[in-house]
Structure 1
Amino acid sequence: MDWLWQALALVLIIEGIGPLLFPNRWRLYLQQVSQHPSNKLRQLGGVLVVTGLVSLFYLAR
């Protein structure tokens, strides 16, 4: 179960790099993303989840 906490910690580190290093660009990016329709955001989320699951499947072998 330690691997789950390690993976979560890695996600937090990666997600925090953008706002830490480029706060103004990050804010602009979030404003642009918030203007997209919900169905496009949902599609993007689905693609990211499927890509992550496939990657995890192959990396965990």
Structure 2
Amino acid sequence: MSGPLERLTRTNLRHEVYARVRAAVLTGELTRDDRITETGLSEMLGVSRAPVREALRQLGRA
């Protein structure tokens, strides 16, 4: 099956996780007092831990 949808890659997924977590921090949905874990975020976002880990590393450098 081929179609108009772009196949998701690890890079796309990492960027999406990064954007969502960053937005949650900026809007106060996630605060400094919240315990943020790879497992918790991966379950909330419905993704594996790898893109969450990569996104958290990227956020740590920002």
Does TM-score exceed 0.5, indicating one fold? Answer: no
Q: TM-score scaled to structure 2, two decimals?
A: 0.36
Q: TM-score scaled to structure 1, two decimals?
A: 0.36
Based on CA coordinates, which of the two structures has the bigger radius of gyration?
1
